[in-house]
Structure 1
């Protein structure tokens, strides 16, 4: 099946360099972790339902574990979505602009995402430290476990946004990690 090339579409060379060599495996590992977490989440919820309705003895730890896994899956998945440009974008508006202004808008968007990621990392770290002395019921681990994905995803979002910013200045394209 031949792919149709849109008239006027600009095809950029792939982004290369040390940041891409670091970010591409990180994004792929994040994707694998998010998928693994999602599979574990399904298994835990199935076990909880099986325990409740079949065994009439619902395990007490499954609800808290499911909540923690949802945080990891969504945060890490969101960070990978930034690198692979899978986030919600304003394509419907930016495609109407001339190519040069499209790149300017992309630069503004990725700078804004970078600031947002830095805020996530910083505030996730602060929140994690503030609840670190407390234990999660039924799991017996620190409450800070809930904030690790927020901080980690924030750092990844900053790294992935910087890669996109470098790509804009170099006139290159960040190739998604699953290619």
Structure 2
């Protein structure tokens, strides 16, 4: 049941990422059109594009952790004896979990600390720039727990796109 929840969360992140990329393309296209055709650059388009890049990147990072798409030194683990390999995999997932927790906590704190400030071109809170990293940190924790549970059960986590 936990694996199903994590798979659905990861798929939702992928769909949101796709929607974010489409919105990003639209924002940048409008900015280029405004600059070169209308000779009147929309100031909000660049800020929106930067914000969308943060959201797409952070959601993609979380899904990459779940699907084990991040950079790893697997060649060293393959050469190690089974007992050592298993311990190292536990350590790796525990460290990623701690990193995700630290990221969620600190970015959430940062978002709250700047919430009263406004992005001048979008007229939204400055905190929206830090929300995606906080959410990605929570997702990384959830996905790392899934990996630890899978290791304990002697199975692999299936990628989200299967």
For the superposition of Structure 1 and Structure 2, which TM-score range results when normalised by the shorter chain?
over 0.9
Is the helix fraction higher in 1 or 2? 2
In 2: Cα distance, 1:158 partner to 1:128 partner: 19
The answer as to 2:151 corresponding to 1:168 is yes
Distance in 2 separating the partners of 1:19 and 1:136: 38
- Using structure 1 for the length normalisation, give the TM-score: 0.88
Query: Superposition RMSD on alpha carbons, in Å?
Result: 0.9
More displaced, 66-75 or 98-107? Answer: 98-107
2:114 match: 131
Gap regions ≥5 residues in structure 1: 1-17
Corresponding residue for residue 21 of structure 1? 4
User: Which residue of structure 2 lines up, in the alignment, with residue 5 of structure 1?
Assistant: none
SS in 2 for 1:139: coil
CA distance in 2, matches of 1:41, 1:101: 44
Provide the rounded CA distance (Å) in 2 between the counterparts of 1:33 and 1:102: 35
Q: Which has the larger radius of gyration?
A: 1
| Distance in 2, Cα, partners of 1:39 & 1:106 | 36
**Cα offset for 1:176?**
0.7
Q: Which runs of 4+ in 1 moved over 3 A?
A: none
Q: Structure 2 length normalisation: TM-score?
A: 0.97
User: Matched residues in 2 for 1:38 and 1:90: separation?
Assistant: 30
Equivalent positions of 1:5-44 (< 5 A) are: 18-44=1-27
Which structure 2 residues correspond to residues 71-150 of structure 1 after superposition, within 5 A? 71-150=54-133
